[in-house]
Structure 1
Amino acid sequence: MPEDFLQLSGKTVLVCGVANRKSVAWHIARVLTAADCRVVYSVRSDARREQLAKLLGCDEDILVCDVEHQDQIDRLAASVAERYGKLDGLVHSIAFADYEDGMRPFHETTRRAMLRAFDISCFSLVALSNALQGCLAEDASVVAVSISTTEMASENYGYMAPIKAALDSSLAFLAKSFSGFSRVRFNAVAPGLLKTSASAGIPGYVDSYLFAEQATLRGQAVQTDEVASAAAFLLSPRSSGMNAQHLVLDAGMRVNYFDERIVRSAVENRP
């Protein structure tokens, strides 16, 4: 097998959304760096920039962009064009939900909370893709971080599932739009439940995570490194035939809900 199997060496990828060492975006960036790919980072604030600079040991390739503000998105695109020319890939690992007031039934979701979460978690992909279109190479790959399913009504995930569904749908429409003038591809890596700092802020997440781990075929939850490897594949020319796709990584959980152990435990402990 050739050493540069993914053919990422020498390419440049913009990774948006690193918060800390547990971030999916951070793990993706580490895999890309190991493949001799130049990683450019975009973070939300100057404080995040300082934190990331400490992790990297430098701040050379760290840009600041709060995607709630179009002027900052435009400034990011201008900085990328000036400093790097073309991008071979873009990673969108940006999500936000306000759980400070605890979880509410879905029908009590506030307009303010849902629209802000939509703006940051979904529309930002459209806005970034549009602003950066002149910087994307003819055959660039755009990869978003989604979730394994948006069709399961998990109370503690609430309105974020419909927003992730909109993100998934946006991939198809972006792929179609960009096909009119390029071969840029739009795909998503879609993991099951992960241990990240963001997930730790979701009420009741730990219990859901432990259940999901039992429901996998291997009895082990999906690891963030596994998600990063799948994202690197989608960013690479090796996945050139994939466009508007949703690559699920759930360790077989979706086929295993009626596992004998899980059913027996539920029946024996029912009220």
Structure 2
Amino acid sequence: MDFLQLDGKTVLVFGVANRRSVAYHVACVLEAAGAQCVHVVQNQHIRQSVEKLLPQREVFICDVQQPDEIEQLRRQLAERGYKFHGLLHSIAYADYSAGPLPFHQTPRQAFLQAVDVSCYSLIALSNALKDLLEPDASVVTVSISTTQMASESYGYMAPIKAALDSTIVFLAKSFSRFSRVRFNAVAPGLLKTSASAGIPGYVDAYLYAEKVIPRKQAVQTEEVASVAAFLLSPRSSGINAQKIVVDAGMGINYFDRELIERVLREQELQWHEWLFLQQKRRVFCRMLLKDSNSFNSMNSFVARADGPSRH
């Protein structure tokens, strides 16, 4: 049974780089449902890799930072007579070469480049390819589960993903004036992808996420791909301008009892260690002052060693 009603449909897929890519997993789900995937990658090097990974598929090149390449892609697709029932936008880039920085020190060029690639590209591609989309096509981008949690390791990409979330709303409204094209976002929690490996502190955040998620297992890329495929399918025709979170319940579980107890135990251990160290300091101070005849000097010295009182 073709539940997703994707058999015979054609979907344009941006963002496959390797087997770990979200776009790769989405394409696999789409093809398993009978859809044809046409791929677009950034450059020739990636194209060669993807052609080995996905033989007998058409793979086009387009650097979304270059308007002339977007226009060239439009011409190439039009010349081949393509009409797309869906478009997957799985493109993002952030330059973390400066290392983890406080948000207020975000380099201007890095921020603007990330906006251009990760957010504005959806606007540019949607506009350039609008005549190649079926009247009721579905456009899906990849966001993140929350842009309200200030993850220091993810840094300035969270505000950019927030802009992406808003972008799908305005594109849905804008396209509604001449079509029934839908725009939605799948918003996963932390995933094991090659791109995430370049984010400072990501591994620690990923391991923490596994503790927070109720099932104690991080979201799998295949799970995200299934939701994306559903959003690309006619079965999701009633969903438009929405962000669908796929985080396995992480967002409801920050006050998990086990995590709270662990933090309290650590705090209690730190308090006892502090008391022990202060006791050692007092003993040491009294040893040094044992032969002193100045009672006031001793009291002053010991008081300084005792530190703050506990509240």
The TM-score, its normalising length taken from structure 1, stands at 0.97
Give the whole-Å Cα distance in 2 for the aligned partners of 1:163 and 1:222: 22
Q: Deviations over 1:88-120 (max 9, x none)?
A: 000000000001121100000011000000000
Segments of structure 1 that go 5 or more residues without pairing to the other structure are none
- 2:237 is aligned with 1:240: yes
Q: What percentage of aligned pairs have identical amino acids?
A: 63
Residue 40 of structure 1 corresponds to 38
Provide the rounded CA distance (Å) in 2 between the counterparts of 1:115 and 1:239: 33
- 2:4 pairs, out of 3, 6, 19, with 6
Mapped to 1, the partners of 2:152 and 2:81 lie a distance apart of: 43
Tell me the number of residue pairs that the alignment of Structure 1 and Structure 2 aligns.
268
Q: How far off its partner does 1:259 sit?
A: 0.6
CA distance in structure 1 between the aligned counterparts of 2:77 and 2:55, rounded to whole angstroms: 21
Q: Which amino acid aligns with 1:62?
A: V
Tell me the distance in 1 between the aligned counterparts of 2:132 and 2:258.
52
Indicate yes or no: 2:67 matched with 1:63. no
Structure with higher Rg: it is: 2
DSSP-derived class of the 1:6 partner: coil
Aligned-partner SS, 1:72? helix
Match among 239, 243, 261 for residue 258 of structure 2: 261
Match of 2:171 in 1: 174
CA–CA distance in structure 1, aligned partners of residues 212 and 78 of structure 2: 46
Matches within 5 A, 1:53-202: 53-58=51-56, 60-202=57-199
SS of the aligned residue for 2:185 comes to strand
**Which residue is 1:18 aligned to?**
16
Secondary structure at the residue paired with 2:86?
A: strand
Between the aligned partners of 2:201 and 2:107, the Cα distance in structure 1 is 20
Asked if 1:231 corresponds to 2:228, the answer is yes
User: 2: distance between equivalents of 1:157 and 1:62?
Assistant: 30
Per-residue CA deviation, residues 209-262 of structure 1 (Å, 9 max, x unaligned), is: 011111111111100000000000000010000000000001111111111111
- Give the CA deviation at 1:36: 1.0
Kindly provide the amino acid, as one letter, of the partner of residue 178 in structure 2: F
The answer on 1:222 being equivalent to 2:227 is no
Matches of 1:142 and 1:57 in 2, distance apart?
A: 25
**How far, CA to CA, are the matches of 1:32 and 1:166 in structure 2?**
27
For the aligned residue pairs, the C-alpha RMSD in angstroms reads 0.8
Find the aligned partners of 2:80 and 2:187 in 1 and give their Cα distance: 31
- Structure 1 runs of 4+ with >2 Å offset: none
Structure 1 CA distance for aligned equivalents of residues 264 and 114 of structure 2: 38
**TM-score, normalised to structure 2's length?**
0.85
Deviation at 1:80, TM superposition (A): 1.5
Residue 133 of structure 1 aligns to which amino acid in structure 2? K
The match for 1:52 is: 50
Amino acid at match of 2:33: A
* Match of residue 203 from structure 2: 206
**Residue-by-residue CA offset, 1:114-139 (whole Å, 9 max, x unaligned):** 00000000000000000000000000
Structure 1: how far apart are the matches of 2:143 and 2:9?
24
Q: Deviations over 1:161-186 (max 9, x none)?
A: 00000000000000000000000000
Structure 2 CA distance for aligned equivalents of residues 66 and 269 of structure 1: 49
Tell me which protein shows more helix as a share of its residues.
2
**What is the CA–CA distance in structure 2 between the aligned matches of 1:242 and 1:73, rounded to whole Å?**
28
CA deviation vs aligned residue, 1:41-87 (integer Å, no higher than 9, x gap):
000000000000111123x4100000000011111111112214311
Cα distance in 2 for residues equivalent to 1:224 and 1:231: 11
Query: 2:26 maps to which residue?
Result: 28
